[in-house]
Homo-oligomer: A and B are copies of this chain.
């Protein structure tokens, strides 16, 4: 039997293995398509700190039965930065092409999701995608595209230019796909709700195939500062990184090289490091031999003098916005939010934010966990996620939390690189550094909840005690009056006030 060898394109690889990118079945596909495009839209608005207005419409194209797979048209509009016209075809018609291959916090990271949605639409309906985009110039560019999957290249079917009088900026994407909205609906609505929770500065409008309108209105126009791009941290580099830097560096000596291309290396640290590594400061980086590059990487890993990554490039939500989001979506009786100090894993900075909510619209029994990574809600494979493992590990009785209490926990991890375990971004891997931060973050809000519950318990006890007083004191007063043969019962109101006052002082 002869073996035949072949090369396949990246698009073909993900076409064949679309399950791993979250396109497992018609229900999941409609969820993933919407999600990927909403996240691109939000990222596009973040770049210029524009409070996002996202419009999503899913309409049914054929007359399928309610519980059947049907053809839908998905349209997503945003008011974000727009895409430069020459990049539009590749951005939507090619996998592994994008603007996010940088050390910068972003919702998208793989350069895959948007094109996968369109690819899925194409393989199920054989129809092109329509894209209109403007960066706010005098023109709007409109494309009709398909994907050449075997070559991983866009096919441009049509291209139009329109005058942009209003200087509109943003992107509109519309395409057909086979899906199963009615099976996907609960997850889609949950996704939008959680997105609204973590993006309280966004307007999100969704019109579903039955024409129902779901509107998530912003409660603030305050946005977290946009994430910034950063240089690679020395602890995260490998031989390949160094080689790529050497190829492009304008630096003529190692001192400049170290100072120019790495995160938080200044004159002083560069000097100390090169001395430690026994490398001449004057050495030309382009003249490093392979074994010297390997040695350089090894010495970098051994040197203890580098500063930890600076998290100012990250854009956590902040306690205020997080609280606003929770109050808006869960209307809890009590909530506590907490932002941990920045930490790092393998040279990547990250920040963990946690929150706990009690009562209000929080469901009982469920103990829901809202997981977010770079402001994306994660809805699948909960059991494998690091946060859920941490929550299971905590002894909740210590915090006076009982199994049937209406409590929700929220964990947000933001990083220049979120350690997802899957291309479908379902859950976060179990890194020890992240585990520790999440644990401490949850403990902090759990303690605040405990104080609230203790206080409430106390108030409740006090209320009961006072109600006993106010029930029996009048009787005792009347009885004593009769016993004493007097006419006028003493004023017990004063007495009751004293008891109450005493209690208040104790607190």
Interface centre among A98, A126, A293 (most CB of B within 10 A): A126
A426-453 interface with B by 8 A CB criterion:
429
Residues of chain B contacted by A479 (CB below 8 angstroms): none
A9 at the interface (CB under 8 A from B): yes
Residues of chain B contacted by A290 (CB below 8 angstroms): 126-127
A1-31 interface with B by 8 A CB criterion:
1, 3-10, 12-13, 15-17, 19-20, 24
- Distance, CA A15 to CA B237, complexed state (A): 12
Q: Is the CB of B383 within 8 A of A1?
A: no
Stretch at the interface among A136-144, A406-414, A415-423: A415-423
* Residue in B3, B125, B419 whose CB lies within 8 Å of A239: B125
Interface centre among A10, A90, A293, A429 (most CB of B within 10 A): A10
A240 at the interface (CB under 8 A from B): yes
Residues of chain B contacted by A124 (CB below 8 angstroms): 238-239, 297
A320 at the interface (CB under 8 A from B): no
Interface size on A, residues (CB 8 A): 62
Shortest CB–CB separation between residue A69 and chain B, in angstroms?
Answer: 8
Residues of chain B contacted by A99 (CB below 8 angstroms): 3-6
Residues of chain B contacted by A1 (CB below 8 angstroms): 47-48, 226
A491 at the interface (CB under 8 A from B): no
**Sample of 17 further A-B pairs with CB below 8 A, known A126-B294, A150-B244:** A3-B47, A3-B83, A3-B99, A4-B102, A7-B90, A8-B97, A9-B10, A9-B96, A10-B10, A19-B419, A20-B421, A124-B239, A125-B239, A126-B243, A126-B291, A381-B421, A383-B383
Instruction: Pick 18 A–B contacts, CB within 8 A, sort by A.
Output: A5-B91, A5-B97, A5-B99, A6-B99, A7-B96, A8-B111, A15-B240, A16-B101, A19-B419, A19-B420, A19-B421, A19-B429, A123-B239, A123-B240, A124-B238, A126-B239, A383-B383, A383-B384
